[in-house]
Structure 1
Amino acid sequence: MEIPIQFPTVPLSSGHNIPVLGLGMSHHGGYSHNALLYALRSCGIRHIDTAKRYGNEELVGKAVSESGVKREELWITTKLWPGDYGYDKATQACLDACKRLGVQYLDLYLMHWPDAHVPGKSSREARAETWKALEDLYYRGICRSIGVSNFLIHHLEQLKEDCSVVPHLNQVEYHPFQRPQELVNYCKRNNIVFGGYCPLAKGQALTHPLILRIAKQYGKTPAQICIRWSIQNGVVTIPKSTKESRIQENCQVLGFILADEDVCTLNSLHDGRHVSWDPTNVL
């Protein structure tokens, strides 16, 4: 059996270190028990990213338990769905997530989406009230780090005005066609680690001629080029896969470095397209 790779980590302002590469879960068939076990046992994956929305927290907990990997070696992220926004509901939702995952604490808990439908409250008010619940869960040690997902600069600015803890991480769609550099720069200035999901643009990046050319040049796959590019841009990167061979391929991105000119070429592919949710119009 191969010795699993140890992935580098990035420090969060919470004092904890998050692995730069994770394995993302999703809904609509986005879970494979055998693939997750393989990732943990054979590929060195220690960072698992799931969400209540995906409906597989219990299955993830089962795989973690079966894997034999010690809890303290793992980084488990899950996310709070807007239907659970509000102070009391968010607090209970977190405790329920821990129970489903079979853990005493979460390494990272994210507000999944900036829009909130809490009766009698604006989205901003609902986000602030929910974030205060996450702050208290953080102070209690139930969430070792807290953050947000799909938040743009104005959402982050409002949280900063309304609350006391700046999010430790913001997880946003990030791939060669969607590289929100202004948001990346904002997060960097405010000591918010930037996380990226959909690094392969749901497969759209795998057939682009420039990406294919660079992959051939390095003797790598287009997926490996995209993931390596994302990590080199300082992004905590969360590819999703339910296939063991793809997970192994995605993990083999530490043995090479893209030249600056190739990073610039990939950066230039940004055209603003979204392959996932677009939070632009959320107030």
Structure 2
Amino acid sequence: MKYITLNDGLTLPSIGFGTYKATEEEGIASVKLALQKGYRLLDTAARYENESAVGKGIKESGIPREEIFVTTKVWRDNLGYENTKKAFEESLQKLDLEYIDLYLIHWPANEKNFDNWQEVNAETWRAMEELQAEGKIKSIGVSNFWQEHLEALAKTANVTPSINQIEFHPGYWQPEVTQFSQDKGIVIEAWSPLARGKVFDNELLKSIAETHNKSVSQICLRWCIEHDTITIPKSTTPERIEDNINIFDFELSPEEIKQINEIPEMGFSGELPNNWPDIV
């Protein structure tokens, strides 16, 4: 396992377990299995409506709480100071935990939805800074923030975001946002690292996978790691859960990384931080 130390000193595994769409019994079972297979970073969100299942999976796994890093997020309908405080407590209760390791703003307020979007993001962040100071959150970060959102937030923030979780995969990896964030000491966390399954039909990725005697998913996740990101693949299939974490016994060559970087747009979700609630 490779680890990445955030700008606040918290050290996280470079691969975590995503839980999007994993609900109820399926969610409990997949979280439990992932932890037993070696994952220690879990990613959920209020919007996923599975925080209770994730919490139960943690308890049923038998893995000590202090070994696990739990991420959840405040949804865009709950932005603002008071709303964020309330949403956090609801998430904490559903997860049945005493603290959250990493709490993120799921999507930034934007010009389309708020006349004062900068203030809304700033007040959301102020609430999170207070929760961190109280010891209820270890690390605070953002998700789907572009440069303009990060620059606006920096004008009032006392704490620099530790993480910017963005859509990042072969065919859509937002190099400008990635570089800007990393230059500011903000670690990129990659959501949808397998491009909604589109990677499995890509001939280049299949060829590289054959070269290394690895699966296409392992190639994509290793590529994320080579870019100094944290990646959070999701699966409820036992074989794939185990396959996805076994990416630390090989490396991609600089030429292979370059080739993957240059894959044309593929698997883009259509979700843009300045365009919600519409999808292009």
* TM-score between the two structures when normalised by the length of structure 1: 0.92
Q: Select which of 136, 159, 165 maps to 2:159.
A: 165
Q: Select which of 245, 249, 257 maps to 2:243.
A: 249
SS of the residue 2:135 aligns to: coil
Q: Select which of 230, 237, 255 maps to 1:236.
A: 230
1:128 alignment partner in structure 2 = 122
Q: How does 1:1-283 map to 2 (within 5 A)?
A: 7-27=1-21, 31-41=26-36, 43-115=37-109, 122-271=116-265, 274-275=268-269, 277-281=271-275
- 2: CA distance, partners of 1:221 / 1:276: 26
Shift of 1:123: 1.8
Deviation track 1:3-22 (CA, whole Å, cap 9, x = no partner) reads xxxx2211111111111000
SS of the residue 1:126 aligns to: helix
Q: CA RMSD in A?
A: 2.0
Moved more, 172-181 or 268-277: 268-277
Which blocks of at least 5 consecutive residues in structure 2 are unaligned?
Answer: none
- 2: CA distance, partners of 1:22 / 1:276: 24
1:3 alignment partner in structure 2 = none
- 1: CA distance, partners of 2:55 / 2:192: 23
CA contact (8 A) 1:179 1:270 kept: no
CA, structure 1 residues 120+170, in 2 after alignment: closer, same or farther (shift >3 Å)?
closer
- 2: CA distance, partners of 1:231 / 1:223: 12
Shift of 1:32: 2.9
Deviation track 1:228-264 (CA, whole Å, cap 9, x = no partner) reads 1111111100101111111011011111111111111
CA contact (8 A) 1:199 1:226 kept: yes
- 2: CA distance, partners of 1:121 / 1:133: 20
- 1: CA distance, partners of 2:23 / 2:59: 21
CA contact (8 A) 1:77 1:108 kept: yes
| 1:151 partner amino acid | F
SS of the residue 2:97 aligns to: coil
- 2: CA distance, partners of 1:28 / 1:113: 20
Deviation track 1:6-49 (CA, whole Å, cap 9, x = no partner) reads x22111111111110001011375953222211111x1001100
Which blocks of at least 5 consecutive residues in structure 1 are unaligned?
Answer: 1-6
1:4 alignment partner in structure 2 = none
SS of the residue 1:145 aligns to: strand
- 2: CA distance, partners of 1:71 / 1:32: 18
Paired residue total: 275
CA, structure 1 residues 276+99, in 2 after alignment: closer, same or farther (shift >3 Å)?
farther
